[in-house]
Amino acid sequence: MHRIFQSAGVVTGSPDVGFLDADVRVRDGVIVEVGPALEPGGAEVVHVPGWLAPGFVQTHIHLVQTLFRGLADDLLLLDWLRTRIWPLEAAHDHDSTYWSARLGLTELLLGGTTSFLDMATVRHTDAVFQACEEAGVRAFVGRAMMDRPNEAGLSQSTEESLQGACDEADRFHGQGRLRYAFAPRFVPSCSSELLEQVAVEARKRGCLIHTHASENADEVALVRELTGRDNVVHLHERGLSGPDVCLAHCIHLTDEEEQLLADTGTRLLHCPSSNLKLGSGLARIPELIERGVHVSIGADGAPCNNRLDMFTEMRLAALIQKPRLGPTVMPAAQVLGLATRNGAEALGLEAGVIEPGKVADFIVLSPDEVNVLPSPDPASAIVYAMTPSSVREVWIGGERMVHEGRVGGWDPEETRAGVRQAIERVARRAGL
């Protein structure tokens, strides 16, 4: 496959070169040349209806929870988990998990997300992988590992959880665009033995490790009660720190924990909408970045956000820090980098920037909408003005996945019907 993309301009995603009047040449799914008026040389010429920009990389998602949108509003984190999310996840079957994932993937693709890191639930992870493979996305997925008992019965023995994750990793990791990520849920759900074995088995297979940490003050207190340690310190002592470890939220950190994240290169996954909706607090993102912590962005799950929309997350990531630290912090270009190249770096992908050697994961954005014009600064337009309706096309590996508001290969009415049938069944089982 050899294509040349001609557009109204290229938002490169690079910190050094922001916007170019250029064409992009792609061979076999990889960018090989970026420059003005490229000669076709036998390539198929694709006329892009707008700006060409890197696809968004979301680093914290729960596709299995998309089905629960609107069923867990206005609750504190631990109540939200115990009374809604865990009972609903426990009520999932293979079919409902598939439709939940398919619904979430449809929203992600229509909003310009091309790669993501996902935490599933205890069972039916294969259904999530099935939907991701059909969608053609770059997906890092793993079962939620939980070996401490809870009220919903959503847990497994240490041995069963570990063996199940290892079997899934051996089956799915490296299959096409699919990757496995070991996903111990969070410290209150996981024994020290499980966390230590995850560190060993994930690294043996070259997989990422994905968990939650220090999202809520009550959670932090519970971790101290259970372990006698602060959250990030406990994870570090179990072997869960470093560039292959991705920690969602990290709001309530001690000075020692902040420095530990910076010193070890552990990835912080910032979820501003979720943190606001659950009343969890504001992560000190500008200070953490200044300290050298690697930060990227994710929407989290639909029940604690109600959207899987990177435009909302970027806008909030910028705005919520300004009343605290002044209007100059978190400028648009920096935030766009968190949503693209930083996300790619966190996942170990050669993506997030439009330059030779990177995969051809693009989105096409319309700068001519009335809520976006006159668009003198593309980064500002994307972060502060655009919405998912600005996304015209999505390309992954040089293949078009979204065109004219439709996800290729999926009938939207079939998706809606599958979702409606699935949620009725799951809610009934969960007693909601």
Closest CA to 251 of 43, 77, 422, 4: 77
SS3 for 53? strand
In eight-state DSSP terms, residue 416 is H
> Which domains are delineated in the chain?
56-347 (3.20.20.140)
For 62-122, strand residue ranges (E) read 113-119
CB atoms within 10 A of CB 392: 18
Tokens found for residue 31: 């960018």
Rg of the chain (C-alpha set): 21
| Cα separation, 325 vs 327, whole angstroms | 7
Whether a cis peptide bond, with omega within 30° of 0, leads into 374 is yes
Pairing of β 294-297 and β 362-365: unpaired
Pairing of β 56-61 and β 19-20: unpaired
Q: Which residues contact 196 (CB under 8 A, 6 or more apart)?
A: 238, 239
DSSP 206-256: T-EEEEEES-SHHHHHHHHHHHSS-HHHHHHHTT--STTEEEEE--S--HH
| Cα separation, 99 vs 118, whole angstroms | 15
10 Å CB burial of residue 432 (0-12, 13-18, 19+) is middle
Closest CA to 64 of 103, 24, 27, 29: 103
| Cα separation, 264 vs 133, whole angstroms | 33
Summarize the chain as % helix, strand, coil (round to 5). Answer: 40, 20, 35
Question: Is residue 214 a contact partner of residue 220, using CB atoms and an 8 Å limit?
Answer: yes
Dihedral angle sign, alpha carbons of residues 349, 351, 353, 355: positive
Q: What angle do CA 51, 345, 367 make, to 5 degrees?
A: 15
Per-residue pLDDT of the chain (432 residues; tens, 9 = 90+): 899 999 989 999 988 778 999 999 999 999 999 999 899 889 999 999 999 999 999 999 999 999 999 999 999 888 999 999 999 999 999 999 999 999 999 999 999 999 999 999 999 999 999 999 999 999 999 999 999 999 889 999 999 999 999 999 999 999 999 999 999 999 999 999 999 999 999 999 999 999 999 999 999 999 999 999 999 999 999 999 999 999 999 999 999 999 999 999 999 999 999 999 999 999 999 999 999 999 999 999 999 999 999 999 999 999 999 999 999 999 999 999 999 999 999 999 999 999 999 999 999 999 999 999 998 999 999 999 999 999 999 999 999 999 988 898 899 999 999 999 999 999 999 888
State in Å, rounded, how far the first CA of the chain is from the last one.
50
For residue 115, list its beta bridge partners.
57, 138
Helix 94-110 vs helix 412-430: crossing angle, to nearest 10 = 130
For 55-194, strand residue ranges (E) read 56-61, 113-119, 138-142, 144-145, 178-184
Which helix (H) or strand (E) segment is 80 a member of? Answer: helix 77-80
Tokens found for residue 221: 């207190």
Question: Is residue 98 a contact partner of residue 130, using CB atoms and an 8 Å limit?
Answer: yes
142 φ, ψ (degrees, to nearest 5) = -155, 150
